[in-house]
Structure 1
Amino acid sequence: MTETLPIPALIPSLHVRVELAQPEDHGRTAAGHRRVVPIVGGRVSGDFTGVILPGGADWQVVRDDGTIEIDSRYSARGDDGALLYIRAVGLRTGPAEVLAALGRGEQVDPRSYYFRTMVSLESSARPELANQLFVAACARHRSEVVYTAYRVS
């Protein structure tokens, strides 16, 4: 029996701007070179609109080749008062000179490096968001990360 399976599509869902504090360098730990980047604010628009609340962070492991394993967790408060929990897990990697420029806070073309995440969402006001898959294309700027999260159909 041959089945014709649906071909997933990517549907833009959220545009996110996450404001960051200076990274906290924890040095080499049992997990690897650990950094924690505090999240201090930002904005979400699209299928959920609101502000990023301070208090979250990106718990990173920096690999020997400069690749960063991303594990960020934070909350947003919608314009309607609803809360949204956001978790983004992924990778930022690229040529050594590009990663070094990003590390110095320089403006770098996001097409010159790979920065992708899987995004999980939870909200008591929007329970359907937890039942959908999202992937994101991201860019790192001096004091913020911006990304568009796409719902996988």
Structure 2
Amino acid sequence: MSVPLPIPQLVPSLHVTVELGELEDHGMTAAGHRRIIPILGGTITGDVVGTILPGGADWQRVRTDGTIEIDSRYSAATDDGGYLSIRAAGIRTGSPAVLDALRRGQEVNPALYYFRTMVTIESSEHPALADQLFVAACARGRDRVEYTAYRIT
């Protein structure tokens, strides 16, 4: 192809705060070391404003080096009366000392570890969100995860 392809840009779209429940450590399973963290609520601001509903969860698999594979699924009610179904999948990794501090619930500067996800959204009221790709830079707090989802142009 002789036509130059567009260069994707990242546009901030959503800021999300997810409130987390107590970690459930399911131990070593056939799929690996499995942990599940209930999602209790939270907020969404930006292109869409809303409230994260309780009932979702973050299903994690912990690798032998401490890296965590993230697979979160939850829903949100938007302020305009709609709903979003959200999935965030990615990884969180860092040095053993940083990962241990995060495991203990300490606040750690997010620049000291790598926590990125791919975010997909389904919505009958906001179908344009389902037609776009998002990547997110995330931070883990003691009882929450915060991230900014960037729309890829």
Q: Per the shorter chain, which TM-score range?
A: over 0.9
For these two proteins, the number of residue pairs brought into alignment is 153
Q: Partner residue of 1:16? A: 16
Give the percent of matched residue pairs that are identical in Structure 1 and Structure 2: 67
TM-score with structure 2 setting the length: 0.99
Q: Partner residue of 2:62? A: 62
Q: Partner residue of 2:81? A: 81
Stretches of 4+ moved more than 6 A in 1?
Answer: none
Distance 1:138 1:14 in 2: 12
Q: How big is each residue's C-alpha offset from its partner over 1:31-89, in whole Å with a ceiling of 9 and x where there is no partner? A: 10000000000000001101000000000000000000000000000011200000000
Q: Partner residue of 1:122? A: 122
Q: Determine helix, strand or coil for the equivalent of 1:100.
A: helix
Matches of residues 42-53 of structure 1 in structure 2 within 5 Å?
42-53=42-53
Distance 1:3 1:94 in 2: 40
Q: Determine helix, strand or coil for the equivalent of 2:140.
A: strand
Q: Which runs of 5+ in 1 are unaligned?
A: none
Deviation for aligned residue 1:128: 1.2
Say yes or no: does 1:29 pair with 2:33. no
Q: Partner residue of 2:143? A: 143
Paired letter, 1:146: E
Paired letter, 2:25: D
Deviation for aligned residue 1:3: 2.4
Q: Determine helix, strand or coil for the equivalent of 1:64.
A: coil
Q: Which runs of 5+ in 2 are unaligned?
A: none
Deviation for aligned residue 1:2: 2.3
Distance 2:150 2:30 in 1: 34
Give the aligned CA root-mean-square deviation in angstroms.
0.6
Distance 2:3 2:113 in 1: 37
Q: Partner residue of 1:102? A: 102
Q: Determine helix, strand or coil for the equivalent of 1:7.
A: coil
Paired letter, 2:57: A
Paired letter, 1:5: L
